[in-house]
Structures are given as structure tokens and as C-alpha cells.
């Protein structure tokens, strides 16, 4: 078992290092899928049981499926995670100079504690689309010998006034700007990447922590990395689906969705609020039944089931005030099922029905998955949400089920190897039941 956990986590850490943004997670996932015989859905005229397909959207949101014996109209089993993570986006006109230094002006994406992002080595990733449609991919900060970027902070000697402030005011969002060099860096962008200053108007450039995932602790039982939320569940779902042996017949079609924009509310064309998922189910039915009637698509959606594959907060012994004592998720306790998210009054929660929770309990216990059940933090302390409510909208059963993390949304988050592995095992059991 120990060997399987180590080997799985090595692969996961490799994925994380390659997938620092949603676009890169998408590209890496497609590479893994195609290496294992998954074909582009658009290229398939019909579908038969056992077929392996994927469909992408805007290079960010991805759907992959192994076709089951029963038709898609009888419902599919979905593991849905997200591949975007909190970060700093470059503004459309990011370059400016101040006091002889060149800066990137940034805009926060997702929920962060701003102070955690100061004085850290940072990397720059993204895509610049020139007026003629030509794309230039940028990746600076993680390859050997690459420079990094950094947000500066005032020294302790002169920081007395700053330290009197509330933590949220230690640095203003508008001042979360990244040192990009001394003097004009526009020339370097032009020379080295062929990118003009105006090309940055049509670009998606992201500042993320530099550095590959690292093992933590003398026993190496933990992994520190940027973007565990939610690549730890996204990768687990992807791995579980890809790893189904070729001849393994699933009764229901098994699918993963790796979506974008979860951290800013699942909005936008590549977020789960869009029609991408419905459209993809219609595309599947169209290839099975030769025409996807509206009622068939609705039936398929309503009869489907989903594990909303997103991380949860592990109890931190140093911050017990954040926990719902007795219902807290424990680090190393296995993936955690969360019946409802939301805040103190369950507002915004999709709240899975007890019958579905019982089915999942049976599935996990039969497959010897080490899992736990918990709540998302102490009532009235805050709250959170996942993509579950956007899928529950179709009438399908949805349960939040994912890996517990320490320091969620920090530049470096911590997960336990045991939990990473059992998350994958849980999704595998869900597909195979
Ligand atoms: Mn998440
Ligand atoms: Mn999150």
C-alpha cells in the first residue's frame, strides 16, 4: 500500500509542477488522456460502451468520459473538480515604472490573505494573443536558471506603523504589484518573446508562487504545493478515470469535469454556471441515439450523480476556533464528505439527500476507502461553496467529497499523501460501483 501511495503521489506532484494555471492543467490533462486512448468527442460519429472521449472548452474547462453499458440517458456518474486557483492576474496595461523599478500591476483572483503573497519567489505564466490571433505562451520562474518575481514589503525597522494595522490592511490590493526588473522591461518582452506592449491588452498572464511541490516532514508524509485546491481532486478524478483498465465495463458512463472559474463564483463561459456540461451531455446522446431530444438531455442530467470533487479545510490544531468541534475534517483522515457547505444557516448549500449519502457510504466502505465525514468550519465563522449547487440545479444527486488541506488558499497548501491517494481511490470506487 505504502508503495502505491508513493507512486501515485509522485505522479500527482509531477502534474502539479506542470499545471500551475488552468490552461496548463488542461493541456497536461489532455496529454495524459490522449496517451491512454481518449479521443476528441468531435471526431467520433457514434459511441459504444468502453469508448474513451474528451471534450474541451476554451482551452480551460475539460470533460472526459468512459462510455458505460447503459445509455447516457440513464444518467452518468461525474467527478467534478476545478483547476483554477487563487493568484494574481496581470492587468490589461500591467507595466509601469516607479522610483527606477519596473512593476507589473496586478488584480487579485480568488480569495487570498494578501500578506501571505509578499516576499515570495513568484513565477509568471500565461498566454498573449496578438492582434493577428497568434498565441505566445509565457512561462518564467520555474525552469532551471529562470529569474523569479517578487512583491516587496517594508523592513521591520520602519514597519512599526504598518504592524499596528489590521492584517487585511497590511498591504492594499492596489499595491500587490510585482517587481519586474529595473528600468524598461517592455524591450525585453519584445526582444525575447516578440510581444509588444499593446499585445498585453489581449493576454491572460498569471502570477503564481515559483517552485515545484515539496515533501514536508521527516517522514515525508505531507506535500506542500501551490494549487492543491483543487488540482488534488481534479487530478484524482482524472487519474481514476484514465486508470480504468481498457476492458473494464462500467454500467453507467463515468466522467470527469475539470472546470475553470470556481474560485470567483463559477461564472463565465468556462465556469460551471455556463451550459458547457449540458451541451456536452447532449453531444454524447447525439452520438448514441442519433438525435439528442431535449427531453433525453433533461432525463440524463436528472438521473446523473456527482461527487463534487473539491478540497475542504483540515482542522489546524493551532486554530481550533475555526472548527466545528466533533465535525471537523482531520488531516490524514482520508477524503472528507461534506453534506452541505454554505455559511451558518446553510445558505447557498445544495445539501445532499440522506439516501444519496447512504449510497456513497456503502460504496466507500465496500471499496475499503479510508474516508471521513465533516462540516466546513465553525458556524458563524465564515463559509464557502463549491460547484455542487450548479450541478444540483439539474436535479441530480451531488455530494461534496474531497481532500482536506492545511492552509487552504495560501501560496503553499499542505495535503497528506494518504489523503491524496484515498481521494483517487474514492473516485475510482464511485465510477466502478
Ligand atoms: Mn476549491
Ligand atoms: Mn478554493
Q: Which ligand is nearest to the CA of 386?
A: 1
- Is 21 in contact with 206 (CB distance < 8 Å)? yes
Expressed in angstroms and rounded, the spacing between residue 88 Cα and the centre of ligand 2 is 14
Distance 303 CA to ligand 1 centre (A): 25
Q: Where are the domains of the chain?
A: 2-85+226-431, 87-209
> What is the bridge-based pairing of β-strands 305-308 and 76-82?
parallel
How far from 339 is each of 308, 325, 361, 374, 399, CA to CA, in Å?
11, 16, 12, 8, 6
Residue 245 is predicted with a pLDDT of: 75
Q: How far is the CA of 315 from the centre of ligand 1 (A)?
A: 16
Ligand minimally distant from the alpha carbon of residue 409:
2
All three cell numbers of 182: 529595473
∠ Cα 279 282 286 (to 5°): 140
Rounded to the nearest angstrom, the distance between the alpha carbon of 337 and the centre of ligand 2 is 16
Q: Is 429 left (phi over 0), alpha (psi -120 to 50) or beta?
A: alpha
For residue 409, the CA-to-ligand 2 centroid distance in Å is 6
Q: How far is the CA of 126 from the centre of ligand 1 (A)?
A: 21
- Interval between CA 114 and ligand 1 midpoint (Å): 18
Q: Find the ligand nearest to 407 CA.
A: 2
The pLDDT assigned to 222 comes to 98
CA dist., res. 323 & res. 121, Å (int): 32
Q: How far is the CA of 308 from the centre of ligand 1 (A)?
A: 10
* Residue 178 near residue 122, CB atoms below 8 Å: yes
Cα(147) to centroid(ligand 2), Å: 28
Ligand nearest to the CA of residue 259, numbered in listed order: 1
What is the CA(312)–ligand 1 centre distance, in A?
8
Interval between CA 120 and ligand 1 midpoint (Å): 23
| Centre of ligand 1 from the C-alpha of residue 95, in Å | 31
Give me the pLDDT at residue 246, please: 67
Using the mean position of ligand 1's atoms as its centre, give its distance from the Cα of residue 407 in Å.
Answer: 13
CA of 310 to the centre of ligand 1 (A): 5
Q: For residue 225, how far is its CA from the centre of ligand 2 (angstroms)?
A: 14
Using the mean position of ligand 2's atoms as its centre, give its distance from the Cα of residue 269 in Å. 19
- Which residue matches cell numbers 467520433? 44
Looking at 226-311, which runs of residues are DSSP E strands? Answer: 253-259, 305-308
Q: How far is the CA of 202 from the centre of ligand 1 (A)?
A: 27
Query: Cα of 38 to ligand 1 centre, how many Å?
Result: 26
Which residue carries 467529497 as its cell? 401
Q: Note residues around ion ligand 2 (Cβ under 5 angstroms).
A: 229
Instruction: Give the Å distance between the CA of 408 and the centre of ligand 2.
Output: 7
Ordered per-residue pLDDT tens for the chain, 433 residues:
799 999 999 999 999 999 999 999 999 999 999 999 999 999 999 999 999 999 999 999 999 999 999 999 999 999 999 999 999 999 999 999 999 999 999 999 999 999 999 999 999 999 999 999 999 999 999 999 999 999 999 999 999 999 999 999 999 999 999 999 998 899 999 999 999 999 999 999 999 999 999 999 999 999 999 999 999 999 999 999 999 876 677 999 999 999 999 999 999 999 999 999 999 999 999 999 988 999 999 999 999 999 999 999 999 999 988 888 899 999 999 999 999 887 778 888 888 999 999 999 999 999 999 999 998 888 878 778 899 999 999 999 999 999 999 999 999 999 999 999 999 999 999 999 8
CA 84 to ligand 2 centroid distance, Å: 9
Instruction: Residue 358: count other Cβ atoms within 10 Å of its Cβ.
Output: 10
pLDDT confidence of residue 348 = 81
CA of 86 to the centre of ligand 1 (A): 9
Give strand pairing partners of 427.
none
pLDDT given for residue 377 in this prediction? 83
| Proximal ligand: closest to the CA of 233 | 1
Q: What is the DSSP letter of 149?
A: B
How much is the pLDDT for 247? 65
Compute the distance between CA of residue 284 and CA of residue 41 in angstroms, rounded to an integer. 8
Burial 392-405 (b: 16+ CB within 10 A, else e): bebebbbbbbbbbb
Ligand 1 mean position, distance from CA 270 (Å): 15
Place domain 2-85+226-431 in its CATH homologous superfamily: Zn peptidases (3.40.630.10)
- 87-209: what CATH class? mainly beta
CA–CA separation, 114 and 118 (whole Å)? 7
Indicate the burial class of 183 (C-beta count within 10 angstroms; 0-12, 13-18, 19 or more). exposed
Separation of 403 CA from ligand 2 center, angstroms?
Answer: 12
3-state secondary structure string across 173-240: HHHCCEEEEECCCHHHHHHHHCCCHHHHHHEEEEEEECCCCEEECCCCCEEEECCHHHHHHHHHHHHH
Amino acid at each position: 500500500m505504502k508503495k502505491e501511495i508513493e507512486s501515485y503521489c509522485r505522479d500527482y506532484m509531477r502534474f502539479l509542477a506542470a499545471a500551475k494555471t488552468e490552461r496548463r492543467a488542461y493541456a497536461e490533462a489532455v496529454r495524459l488522456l490522449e496517451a491512454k486512448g481518449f479521443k476528441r468527442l468531435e471526431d467520433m460519429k457514434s459511441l459504444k460502451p468502453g469508448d474513451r472521449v474528451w471534450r474541451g472548452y476554451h482551452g480551460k474547462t475539460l470533460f472526459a468520459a468512459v462510455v458505460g453499458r447503459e445509455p447516457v440517458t440513464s444518467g452518468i456518474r461525474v467527478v467534478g473538480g476545478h483547476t483554477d486557483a487563487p493568484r494574481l492576474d496581470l492587468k490589461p496595461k500591467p507595466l509601469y515604472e516607479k522610483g527606477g523599478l519596473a512593476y507589473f500591476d496586478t488584480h487579485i483572483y480568488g480569495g487570498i490573505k494578501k500578506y501571505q503573497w509578499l516576499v515570495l519567489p513568484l513565477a509568471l505564466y500565461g498566454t498573449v494573443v496578438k492582434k493577428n490571433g497568434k498565441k505566445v505562451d509565457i512561462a518564467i520562474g520555474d525552469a532551471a536558471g529562470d529569474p523569479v518575481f517578487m512583491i516587496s514589503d517594508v523592513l521591520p525597522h520602519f514597519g512599526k506603523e504598518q504592524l499596528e494595522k489590521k492584517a487585511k490592511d497590511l498591504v492594499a490590493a492596489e499595491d500587490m504589484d510585482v517587481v519586474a526588473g529595473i528600468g524598461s522591461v517592455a524591450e525585453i518582452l519584445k526582444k525575447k518573446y516578440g510581444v509588444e506592449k499593446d499585445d498585453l491588452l489581449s493576454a491572460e498572464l498569471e502570477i503564481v508562487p515559483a517552485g515545484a511541490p515539496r515533501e514536508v516532514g521527516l517522514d515525508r508524509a505531507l506535500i506542500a504545493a501551490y494549487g492543491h485546491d483543487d488540482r488534488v481532486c481534479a487530478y484524482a478524478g482524472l487519474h481514476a478515470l484514465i486508470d480504468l483498465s481498457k476492458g473494464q465495463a462500467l454500467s453507467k458512463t463515468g466522467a470527469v469535469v475539470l472546470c475553470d472559474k470556481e474560485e470567483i463564483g463559477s461564472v463565465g463561459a468556462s465556469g460551471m454556471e455556463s451550459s458547457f456540461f449540458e451541451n456536452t451531455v447532449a453531444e454524447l446522446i447525439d452520438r448514441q441515439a442519433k438525435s439528442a431530444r431535449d427531453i433525453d438531455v433533461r432525463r440524463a442530467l436528472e438521473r446523473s450523480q456527482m461527487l463534487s470533487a473539491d478540497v475542504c479545510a483540515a482542522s489546524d490544531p493551532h486554530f481550533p476556533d475555526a472548527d466545528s468541534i466533533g465535525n471537523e475534517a482531520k488531516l490524514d483522515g482520508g477524503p472528507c464528505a461534506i453534506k452541505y457547505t454554505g455559511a451558518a444557516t446553510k445558505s447557498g448549500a445544495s445539501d445532499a439527500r440522506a439516501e444519496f449519502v447512504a449510497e456513497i457510504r456503502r460504496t466507500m466502505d465496500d471499496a475499503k476507502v479510508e474516508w471521513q465525514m465533516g462540516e466546513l468550519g465553525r458556524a458563524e465563522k465564515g463559509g464557502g461553496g463549491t460547484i455542487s449547487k450548479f450541478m444540483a440545479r439539474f436535479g441530480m444527486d451531488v455530494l461534496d467529497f474531497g481532500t482536506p488541506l492545511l492552509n487552504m488558499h495560501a501560496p503553499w497548501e499542505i495535503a497528506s499523501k494518504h489523503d491524496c491517494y484515498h481521494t483517487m481511490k474514492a473516485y475510482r470506487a464511485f465510477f466502478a460501483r
